[in-house]
Amino acid sequence: MFRTDGADHCGEDPQREEPLVGDGVTPGIVRVGETVRRPVRPFTATVHAYLAHLRAAGFTGAPVPLGVDGQGREVLSFVPGEVPREPLPAQAAGEEVLVALARLVRGLHDAAQGWRPPADAVWGSLPGADPVGPDPGEGEPELVGHRDYCPGNVVFRGGLPAALIDFDLARPTTRVREVANALYWWVPLLDPLDRSVPFAGLDAARRVAVFADAYGLDASSRARLVPTIVGMVGRFHRGARAAAERDPVFARLWEEGVRERMPRAEAWIAREGPAIAARVAAPSR
Ligand SMILES: Nc1ncnc2c1ncn2[C@@H]1O[C@H](COP(=O)(O)OP(=O)(O)OP(=O)(O)O)[C@@H](O)[C@H]1O
Ligand SMILES: [Mg+2]
């Protein structure tokens, strides 16, 4: 399924490699011309099959998989645009950003809907998590989703989310779980103390409703949304702790604030959950 030809011949100087640095979770990511090279991992072939399906289904908001290069690295199309970094800037706080992201995620899901992963599919996971099958906390899978809508994985164009990158955590999941993940990062579903300043005073319940409406979330997913968020935030807390015990990058993130942020997020959603559930129960219009 991997092509090994052609990938080194893009751009005027195919040898020029420009390092691309995210949160440092994946070392060795470089841009070469109009392509990105990333280390091949056990799940790379599964993710490429998924990305190829998305493209064939008409979804253009994800990289095109271009095989493996002569150095054994995965090759993806470079997605033009800007990738925000935390702390999120004021320009990312508008509701139009939530609306565009919700439509992007909906487009991904509609394209993913018909795809059945191969029987030998291998999925990515955080260090310390189970690498096979659906995540046990996610319910009966409806589709393969992205599962990591953090700011570093969303490409903006013209000030709005336009594409998704880094499908390393893609796995069978549910629509409601995907929506919960996107909301976690972009409402964000954190104690105001832990949000970047432009987001601290925003009405979280309203933002959840705006996203749910723009996504077109159905009634049964709306009813399950807040319990799904509560379970997800608890698993994020336990997963971050487990990853920190096994991996130096996650250990640094834990020490730099995740350790305090996650219990505060759990307390916050326990407090605010009922108001959010009431607000999101039905579409606003
Ligand atoms: N296909 C792509 N097109 C454009 N830019 C990309 C692409 N892939 C990666 N990048 C850039 O490189 C950065 C790091 O890539 P990626 O998200 O794949 O790695 P990561 O280690 O998981 O980073 P993070 O922890 O920030 O998510 C991205 O935030 C983005 O700026
Ligand atoms: Mg990333």
Give me ligand 2 centre to Cα 271, in Å: 30
Ligand nearest to the CA of 26: 1
Report whether residue 165 contacts ligand 1, using a CB cutoff of 6 Å.
Answer: yes
Q: What is the pLDDT of residue 67?
A: 98
Domains of the chain: 7-77 (no CATH), 90-280 (3.90.1200)
Q: What is the pLDDT of residue 14?
A: 58
Report whether residue 62 contacts ligand 1, using a CB cutoff of 6 Å.
Answer: no
Give me ligand 1 centre to Cα 124, in Å: 15
81 CA closest ligand 1 atom index: 4
Report whether residue 51 contacts ligand 1, using a CB cutoff of 6 Å.
Answer: no
Ligand nearest to the CA of 24: 1
26 CA closest ligand 1 atom index: 21
Q: What is the pLDDT of residue 8?
A: 47
Give me ligand 1 centre to Cα 274, in Å: 36
Torsion of CA 250, 254, 256, 257, to 10 degrees: 140
DSSP E strand stretches across the chain: 18-19, 30-32, 35-39, 65-68, 73-77, 143-145, 154-157, 160-164, 171-173
Give me ligand 1 centre to Cα 20, in Å: 7
Residue nearest atom 11 of ligand 1, based on CA coordinates = 20
B/e letters for 228-245, b = 16+ CB within 10 Å, e = fewer, are bbbbbbeebbebbeebbe
Q: What is the pLDDT of residue 23?
A: 74
Q: What is the pLDDT of residue 238?
A: 93
Q: What is the pLDDT of residue 5?
A: 41
Q: What is the pLDDT of residue 233?
A: 97
Ligand nearest to the CA of 18: 1
Q: What is the pLDDT of residue 139?
A: 77
Q: Exposure of 16 by Cβ count < 10 A (0-12 exposed, 13-18 middle, 19+ buried)?
A: exposed
Ligand 1 pocket test, pick from 29, 249, 256, 258 with the greatest ligand atom count within 8 Å of Cβ, gives 29
* Of residues 236, 122, 136, 159, the one with CA closest to residue 190: 236
pLDDT profile of the chain (285 residues), mean per 10? 43 76 85 97 97 98 98 97 96 98 98 95 85 67 96 98 97 96 98 98 98 98 97 94 94 97 98 98 85
